[in-house]
Structure 1
């Protein structure tokens, strides 16, 4: 293939464009950092088993059953079931609350709405005695109640079926009751995210409102803690008024005075969040078993955001010129020349004398009759000259003849 070289000018233009692109993009300030990945979400750590149940045999294999303890950041402990049959749980694994649609485990989280119904209508939300009565089992133990509940959850979360043989009769009977009566609980019963601020950081210039932070919370009202230099306020973008509390959907920004030095500010939110039964928790840092809350609770959640700004640019404003009344002009006004006093007897005007045209003044073109006269004079002069030459030659010729 023939190689085509660009002209030198085109190469130079390309280098200039590349340099400009590097200045504009490659050397630009780094983009605002995203907030902490799980800020505002409920997070916790798996710290062990709360209670063990009866082991069960499924068509996919045998498994022990347990209620797991999930310790939240504020110390609250939730009890959870497994919804990821084929993944083992990791000791001290970090977990974060998320939506059902973001289930990360092996196998489909097939029917979460029916899992939700089972959680609401079985152990431990319903006592073993009450669950046994509903299923027609006398003296149902807590271990059997737990085992049957976990087996029923796996049926709808991972498509697992309890085997007819090899299981406790009471476990099988409660399992059949739960699977046969499970209903879809609408997903609207799954609470939305509890607290978040978007974006997490913003940049700007003094003399403007820096940031457009959007608040999302399930709380009615959340108090705001602001850390900012004197004169800088966190304001509601809709009203321009300083804020001390925020609600879901509010948009706020830092109002930075024009004379402020370069600086930064931040604000934080904290509220009590309700963790409902049926909330999904997935591994935050390692691959581990996905959990779902067996019983809800309350916990503290927090979120924060920050902003930075540079000094106002644009240079110094020009100094206005002083008005004439404030400062006199340095150049004195010329003294007017007095007009001469007219004499009583008027003087005789001198004969007008035409002035010579200025050197740079164009002369008038010769046109019309003047041009015709000049031509006639020229012709006459030519005729007179020719006649004189003729007479002179004739005289010389005559003199020559006489001498001969």
Structure 2
């Protein structure tokens, strides 16, 4: 893809960065406002032909800085807004952040425009090296590490090829410089009655004053709880919210004149259309600012559970051993009920009535027999 460069309108200088959308970005803001210089059209091994450009970034106070492209596959957008950031947050195509970004920084520190074309010609042994040659070779060497692009030897100016090889062969990995001013993370939350957050400051300034906007009693402290109003590069701080402070929030802001160093990444502002990612090729002093937000609530009372009523443990029922088990005893038979004796005045029914009738029959029969024998005796006596 051929990078496209256009000139920004003068409205930027009239209105500054007010048009930039609010976001969670940290670091100094800038805008692409045109080109400082253009180099050669270069041919690469994959057949790509790309133009080379040294871009210009302008900050809100009017200061400017030169920048190269580190995203070969994305075009730059007219009037694009940028924010300074760390290499690890590279958003473009390719693998700049995970390849060898420190070698890109070495190239920026040891090539054009940090080092003049005349000095480069002497160091690299390239007679008649022009600024256009130096710019083109520097950009090609950056793309070699940021996007894995390999410059062709044939079809490109010889001086460009020689300086490109010199830079690629001699580049070494070095660490990026601190940000002009960033505070991370940009927000934290917690409960009143203690410190909230652990904010880390990165800055090129010697000292950065902190300004807190919040309720009475809330203050900035170091991680040991001591009040602090100024911080430096690498310092950490927190926000102390006294116990009993109503639910609320506070902001901590910082503003200082700081230096934007060589090799600082500038990515497109969040929430804006995609644009090429740039890297600073010079340094400048500018107004840098950062802000973090803290929110808190009152701690919730701890809930003490009601004691559960104790349940007495049941003693286990002993299991008798086989020898202790008694032999089963058959249940005793219930005695048969004895019929009640007959009582005068009570009706006679059932089996009792049958017995009375039988007795009566026997009695009648016996009486008849007795009368028969008595008559027979008397008859025999009379015959005698």
Once the two structures are superposed, residues 377-400 of structure 1 have per-residue CA deviations (whole angstroms, 9 ceiling, x without a partner) of: xxxxxxxxxxxxxxxxxxxxxxxx
- Report the counterpart of residue 349 of structure 1 in structure 2: none
Which residue does 1:353 correspond to in 2?
none
For structure 1, the 5+ residue unaligned runs are 1-34, 315-404
Quick one: structure 1 residues 302 and 267, their matched pair in 2 at CA, closer, same or farther if it must change by over 3 Å?
same
Partner of 1:360: none
- Listed as ranges, the gaps of 5+ residues in structure 2 are 1-21, 302-384
TM-score of the superposed pair, with normalisation by structure 2: 0.61
Q: Distance in 2 between matches of 1:101 and 1:265?
A: 29
Q: What is the SS of the residue equivalent to 1:117?
A: helix
**Counterpart of 1:52?**
38
Q: Confirm or deny that 1:252 pairs with 2:238.
A: yes
Q: How far apart are the structure 2 equivalents of 1:199 and 1:290?
A: 22
- Deviation string for 1:197-235 (max 9, x for gaps)? 545254655xx3473352423355321223345x42414
Judge conservation of contact 2:208–2:256 (CA < 8 Å) in 1.
yes
For residues 254 and 151 of structure 1, do their structure 2 counterparts lie closer, same or farther at Cα, with a shift above 3 Å needed? same
Structure 2 CA distance for aligned equivalents of residues 96 and 67 of structure 1: 18
Q: Displacement of 1:240 after TM fit?
A: 4.8
Name the stretch that deviates more: 263-272 or 140-149: 263-272
SS at structure 2 position matched to 1:179: helix
Q: State which structure, 1 or 2, has the greater radius of gyration over its C-alpha atoms.
A: 2
* CA 1:226–1:191: 2 relative to 1, 3 Å: closer
**CA-to-partner distance for each residue in 1:160-183, whole Å, 9 max, x for gaps?**
222233222222232232233x22
* Partners of 1:120 and 1:313 in 2: CA distance: 55
Checking the alignment, whether the CA contact within 8 Å between 1:235 and 1:253 is kept in structure 2 is yes
Q: Distance in 1 between matches of 2:286 and 2:60?
A: 8
Deviation at 1:90, TM superposition (A): 1.0
2:126 aligned to 122, 137, 146, which one? 137
Find the counterpart in structure 1 of residue 260 from structure 2: 275
Q: Residue 124 of structure 1: CA displacement?
A: 0.5
1:199 and 1:213 in contact (8 A); partners too: no
Give the whole-Å Cα distance in 2 for the aligned partners of 1:140 and 1:91.
31
The answer as to whether partners of 2:222 and 2:228 remain within 8 angstroms in 1 is no
Name 2:63's counterpart in structure 1.
76
Asked if the contact 2:200/2:235 (under 8 Å) is kept, the reply is yes
CA distance in 2, matches of 1:134, 1:262: 64
CA 1:159–1:202 in 2, change beyond 3 Å: closer, same or farther?
Answer: closer
The verdict on how the C-alpha distance between 1:106 and 1:197 changes in structure 2, with shifts beyond 3 A counting, is: closer
Closer/same/farther in 2, CA of residues 269 and 102 from structure 1, 3 Å limit: closer
Q: CA deviation at 1:97?
A: 2.5
Quick check: 1:226–1:266 contact (8 Å CA) kept in 2?
Answer: yes
Secondary structure, counterpart of 1:65 in structure 2: strand
Contact 1:193 1:216 in 2 (8 A): no
Question: Is the CA contact 1:83–1:290 (under 8 Å) kept in the aligned structure 2?
Answer: yes
SS at match of 2:129: coil
Contact 1:233 1:242 in 2 (8 A): no
Q: Does residue 183 of the first structure (1) align with residue 171 of the second (2)? A: yes
TM-score calculated relative to the size of structure 1: 0.59
Mapped partners of 1:56, 1:99: distance in 2:
29
Query: What does residue 15 of structure 2 align with?
Result: none
- Which of 51, 56, 62 pairs up with 1:64? 51
Relative to 1, partners in 2 of residues 1:63 and 1:245: Cα closer, same or farther, differing over 3 Å? Answer: same
- Change in CA separation of 1:36 and 1:204 when aligned onto 2, cut-off 3 Å: farther
Deviations along 1:125-156, whole A, 9 cap, x unmatched? 11111112223233322112111221222223
Aligned partners of 2:180 and 2:288 also within 8 Å = no
Measure the CA separation in 2 of the matches of 1:120 and 1:310: 49
Residues 180 and 261 in structure 2, CA contact (< 8 A), matched pair in contact too:
no
Q: 1:216 aligns with which of 182, 189, 201?
A: 201
5 Å matches for 1:342-361?
A: none
- In the TM superposition, what is the alpha-carbon distance from 1:306 to its structure 2 partner? 4.2
CA distance, structure 2, for counterparts of residue 228 and residue 202 of structure 1: 14
| Residue in 2 that maps onto 1:287 | 274
Structure 1 position 154 matched with structure 2 position 140: no
| C-alpha distance in structure 2 between counterparts of 1:270 and 1:164, whole Å | 48
Counterpart residue number, 2:356: none
How much does 1:94 deviate? 2.0
In the TM superposition, residue 255 of structure 1 has moved relative to its aligned partner by 4.2
Aligned to 1:120: 109
Answer yes or no: is 1:107 the counterpart of 2:77.
no
Over 3 Å counting, the alpha-carbon distance change for 1:197 and 1:166 in structure 2 is closer
